[in-house]
Amino acid sequence: MNQDLSLHQRRRAPTAAEVRGIPWMACLQPPDRARVLSALVVGDARAGDYVCRAGRAPTYWFGVVQGLLKVAIESAQGESVTFTGLPPGGWFGEGTAIKREPYRFNVQALRASTVAGLPIDTFHWLLDHSIAFNRFIMDQLNERLGQFIAAREIDRLHSPDARVARSLAALFNPVLYPGVGQVLRITQQELAYLVGLSRQRVNEALANLQACGAIQVEYGGLRVLDLQALRSLHALDGEERALARQVRMAVH
């Protein structure tokens, strides 16, 4: 493969397995599904590739088939603020696609990722013809609103443990990211990029969250044991962590 080709130039038809991983495909009627399949493309992004850039008009509605993306903005001074991560199964940018306005954010691959794209005209055709697809988009927008309200709360949290917990909870959202399930394949460095902390501090936070019984650190990823605990966790001091550990040991 020519490494100089852009992500758009590297687009290809999706495989059958990739199509099966698209969460909204099953809700479509057969004629609508056939129209989508004739227009749908996927691209194999390298780490660092931009899927969307701020200021550019949308041409596709995108989804993550495999890999991990981040949504961020950059200031005129070059400072970057990350809003969220995008794990497998997540489709994004529907608000921008509906309004056909330029992106206000960048979406970049943190690792080698496979990204699906539905042309924006086909996206609008589905909005006009499929009630089930409209309901999927409504659920997406509703969950997205809750996610960004939570992101504002995360910005105000001074506890690194709580910041990591809330950020993980967002990545395990079953509506926005049904492809994740209970295990998220992510490195501590990737999580550090998303949370805005050092890898060492993220490692410490993960150890604390595991001691509390909220997650289990596995090789190459994390398993969520108590999603509600991640969503509601605030700062835990050493005494509270010890108590949580004792409760977990008693339960098991």
Q: Where are the domains of the chain?
A: 1-156, 158-252
Whether 148 shows a pLDDT value over 90: the answer reads no
* Residue 163, pLDDT score: 85
Q: What is the pLDDT of residue 247?
A: 41
237 — pLDDT class (breaks 50, 70, 90): very low
Q: Would the pLDDT of 233 be above 70?
A: yes
Task: Give residue 224's identity as a one-letter amino acid code.
Answer: V
What amino acid occupies position 97?
Answer: A
Q: Quickly list H helices, 118-212.
A: 120-129, 131-155, 160-171, 188-195, 199-211
Lowest mean pLDDT among 32-41, 116-125, 131-140, 192-201: 192-201
Residue 31 pLDDT more than 50?
Answer: yes
Among 6-20, 50-64, 193-207, 238-252, name the one with the lowest average pLDDT. Answer: 238-252
Paired sense of beta strands 80-86 and 50-52, if any: unpaired
Percent of the chain with pLDDT over 70: 85
Q: Is the pLDDT of residue 14 over 90?
A: yes
Distance from C-alpha of 73 to C-alpha of 68, rounded to nearest angstrom: 17
The answer on pLDDT for 249 being more than 70 is no
The residue type at 52: C
Compare 135 and 159 and report the one with higher pLDDT: 135
Task: List strand residue ranges (DSSP E) for the chain, in order.
Answer: 41-45, 50-52, 60-66, 69-74, 80-86, 91-92, 106-109, 113-119, 183-184, 215-218, 221-224
pLDDT greater than 90 at residue 238? no
Q: Which CATH architecture has domain 158-252?
A: Orthogonal Bundle (1.10)
Average pLDDT of the segment spanning 149-169: 76
- Indicate the pLDDT class of residue 150, thresholds 50, 70 and 90: low
pLDDT for the residue 234: 55
230 has pLDDT over 90 = no
**pTM of the shown model:** 0.82
What value does the mean pLDDT take over residues 28-55?
A: 95
CATH of domain 1-156: 2.60.120.10
Confidence of residue 132 (pLDDT cuts 50, 70, 90): very high
What whole-number distance in Å separates Cα of residue 134 and Cα of residue 251?
A: 44
Q: What is the DSSP letter of 81?
A: E
Mean pLDDT of 94-123: 96
Is 15 a residue whose pLDDT tops 70?
Answer: yes
Residue 112 phi/psi, 5° resolution?
-55, 125
Average pLDDT, the chain: 86
